[in-house]
Structure 1
Amino acid sequence: MSDTQSKLQTRTAAVLALAAILILIVGGYLLWDNSFGTISTDDAQIDGHVHPINARIGGTVVWTNPDIDDTKFVKAGTVLARLDTNDYQPTVERLEGDVQAQQAQLQSAQLAVPITQATTSSRLSSAQASEVETEAELASARAGVLAATAQVKQAEASSRRAEADRVRYEQLVISHEISRSEYDTRMTEANVSAAQLSAAQANVQAAEQKVQAALQHIVQRKQDTASAATAPGQVATARSSVDRVSGDLKKSKAALREAQLNLSYTDILAPVSGIIGRRSIETGQRIATGQLLLNIVPTDDIWVTANFKETQLRHVQPGARVTIHVDTYGSDIQGRVESIGGATGSKYALIAPDNATGNYVKVVQRIPVRVRLDATRVGGRPLLPGMSVESTVHP
């Protein structure tokens, strides 16, 4: 072998050895950087909440805030626009009248309960007392019948005796055994006895009429007692009236509250502070319930969503330090890994990929990582949702 060939072989071996060393160095660096070094991605952007402001009720816009327009900052609670209140104020006033009327009805119904209790209790006591009194009257009338009947019997005996004496004396006066005056005396006694008998019989009839009247009174008093005995039902009816009016009052109050809310919705307020975008409301416009009027984007609650390859997340943990390079300002800010997404981006797609085919090609998936920023401004300038950034995680 010549010296030239020997030198050539030596140089070739040196080049190959150098190439192998370079490959090992590059491979080792890549392995170290992927396993233990920083992890970067430019598939990242600033994220934040976008609050759509929708009309809660329909109506006609009678006023719009002149300071509200796209790109303008608005504070929470600011009146953005105002709807015509004439569409809702009459309903509120009518329902207020209904509530007042039903409150008066409820008070009246509540007062009626104790009054009904006292009245029915008094009626029952009075009816029961009257029934006892009438029964006493009946007993007295029946006793009167017995007394009158005894008097009739006594009068009948006296009348028979007097009539017998008159008949006997009549025979004696005819035979001139006694004087005419003695006969007249006996005749008078017979007439008196007959009159007393008639009076006694009349007393019996009167006493029997009293018994019949007392019996009728007892029937009436028993009916009064039975009517008064319905007191619990009357009290229950009064209480049910209270419950019914109370239920109607609750319904009216709920309707009034709803009407008052609708009236309050005529003032369209900003729920959060932020920058306005996509304003589409003007004075004189007729809007419908749920219609989108504008968007508000807060600038104090933002974060970074960085989509890393699945092979990059081997050592990424929540709390890891992150450097964010903002393309808009060419500046860096710091943050921390807040959380790692629950699925790859393809799983959140409207149409998920179907890998159950014969032409499957493995593609490295990306997983979203949320980074909470240490600051929401860079050099006094705000970070806005949608800005492109580069994220570098330091495991």
Structure 2
Amino acid sequence: MEKNIVNNTNKKDIENHLDEKEKKIEKVQTKKAFEKMLLFLCVFLSVVIIYGAYWLFYARKFVETENAYVNSSQNVVTAQVAGRIKEVFVENTQEVEKGQLIALIDDTDYKIALENATADLGKSVRAYFNLSSSVGQIEDELLSRKSQLKKAETDFTMDRASYKAGLISKLQYETSKNNYSIAKAGVNQSKKALENAKIQFDSKSIYNHPDIQKAIANYKIAYVNLMRTKVYAPESGKIVKKSVFLGQQVNPSQELMTIVNLKDIWVDANLKETEMRNVKIGDKVKMKSDVDDKVYYGYVQGISAGTGSALAIIPAQNATGNWIKIVQRIPVRIVFDKESLKENGSIPIGSSMIIKIDTSEINKNIIPYKAEKSTLYTVDEKIMNKEIDKIIQSNLGKK
């Protein structure tokens, strides 16, 4: 029995020892878990603090997006007059210079039209010259009829006195009276004819006469139409979307091809409306091209007046009860620094860019929007007017 009591005592001691050991292990595990949790919290707080400091002192100054694409002005070349394509001098992907001849429209009909306009102008000048001769003839005729009237008036006065004195017959008197009335009517008729001729003939300048002005206008139309049979490149750049071929019949305003100027490109970046808080004109921008992985630099030149959906052909309508808020994007125009573009070279339009806007740094050398002007389709009026003067002088018989 004593042996059983000793065994029970030893068993209890062993159990107590095991319990104490388990408690120690549990305390150690709890301590380690707490230390791990504390370490995790320290690391997490450190990351939060570091990221907070990074965002506060650096990241918040930048706006980044991949929704950005290269763009450029696309100059659509159109036909100015109707006709059949006679020659084409360019092809897609070809580089052209501003003012370069790129196509010819058959000008046969327009040359004939110019010759007709030249003949009509000469005919109008000669008709005008005939009017001036008519004025002189009518003036001479008026002087003659005035003399006849004076003679008829004298004869009538004398015959009236003779008739009252009974020296001549009534028939002779009536004849004298009728002759006087006829002479007076002739003078009045000549005066009206002279007045009308002077209205038709402007002696101040031949260019003020309506018939001459109309003929000159028709000549200018024919002259300009003939010039427009030559199609020039309105801008330097690369040919794309060529849709004109030899023998093709074209009409005015029909698109022939497009010229893209890769030396004047920009980036259209579509930023979320929530990112626009600090973006402003002049902010410097760092851009990376997906085409060549090169880094370009530029600045914000302009911000759109509306979001992409608001400026769409069919704007979105959110007047229903099932409305879901969608973050809108606002187009921002970014131009390249000339030196950056010159150093890295141009890139195709439509290619993607990764842009990073620095809202803390402003480019002070902002290039204003430039006005575009072309004199390609402007007629040299001095040369045209010289031709008109030559036609007029040759038909007036003057050198």
CA distance in 2, matches of 1:21, 1:114: 110
Contact residue 75 and residue 273 of structure 1 kept, 8 A: yes
Q: Corresponding residue for 2:44?
A: 19
Choose which of 173, 177, 200 in structure 2 pairs with 1:218: 177
CA distance in 1, matches of 2:67, 2:288: 12
Cα pair distance change 1:298/1:9, threshold 3 Å: closer
Choose which of 113, 138, 143 in structure 1 pairs with 2:159: 138
CA distance in 2, matches of 1:333, 1:106: 69
1:242-257 equivalent positions in 2, closer than 5 A: 242=201, 246-257=209-220
- Normalising by the residue count of structure 2, what TM-score does the alignment of the two structures yield? 0.73
Q: Corresponding residue for 2:110?
A: 88
| 1:233 pairs with 2:254 | no
1:236-315 equivalent positions in 2, closer than 5 A: 236-242=195-201, 246-315=209-278
Contact residue 331 and residue 378 of structure 1 kept, 8 A: no
Cα pair distance change 1:87/1:132, threshold 3 Å: closer
Choose which of 377, 383, 394 in structure 1 pairs with 2:341: 377
Q: How many residues align?
A: 329
The one-letter code sitting in structure 1 at the alignment partner of 2:308 is G
- Aligned to 1:300, the other structure's residue is in SS state strand
1:235-290: CA deviations, max 9, x gaps?
Answer: 332134348x9433333332332222222222222121111112233333333443
CA distance in 2, matches of 1:352, 1:136: 95
CA distance in 1, matches of 2:319, 2:46: 43
1:150-175: CA deviations, max 9, x gaps?
Answer: xxxxxxxxxxxxxxxxxxxxxxxxxx
- Aligned to 1:284, the other structure's residue is in SS state coil
1:197-240: CA deviations, max 9, x gaps?
Answer: xxxxxxx7xx223x642442132112211331244422332134
1:282-316: CA deviations, max 9, x gaps?
Answer: 33333344332221111232211111111111111
Provide structure 2 residue ranges, at least 5 long, that are not aligned to the other structure. Answer: 1-22, 203-207, 360-399
More helix by share: 1
Provide structure 1 residue ranges, at least 5 long, that are not aligned to the other structure. Answer: 146-203
- Normalising by the residue count of structure 1, what TM-score does the alignment of the two structures yield? 0.73
Larger Rg: 1 or 2?
A: 1
CA distance in 2, matches of 1:295, 1:252: 37
The one-letter code sitting in structure 2 at the alignment partner of 1:19 is F
Q: Corresponding residue for 1:155?
A: none
Contact residue 83 and residue 250 of structure 2 kept, 8 A: yes
Shift of 1:37: 0.9
1:125-153: CA deviations, max 9, x gaps?
Answer: 3244224311342255247x4xxxxxxxx
Identity of aligned residues (%): 25
| 1:50 pairs with 2:13 | no
The one-letter code sitting in structure 2 at the alignment partner of 1:226 is A
- Aligned to 1:385, the other structure's residue is in SS state coil
Residues 270-279 or 108-117, more deviating? 108-117
CA distance in 1, matches of 2:139, 2:350: 75
Q: Corresponding residue for 1:188?
A: none
CA distance in 2, matches of 1:24, 1:127: 122
Q: Corresponding residue for 2:389?
A: none
- Aligned to 1:344, the other structure's residue is in SS state coil
1:159-238 equivalent positions in 2, closer than 5 A: 207-209=167-169, 212-238=171-197
The one-letter code sitting in structure 2 at the alignment partner of 1:26 is Y
RMSD: 3.0
CA distance in 1, matches of 2:139, 2:49: 104
Shift of 1:367: 0.5
Q: Corresponding residue for 1:103?
A: 125
CA distance in 1, matches of 2:273, 2:191: 79
1:360-380: CA deviations, max 9, x gaps?
Answer: 221111111111221273536
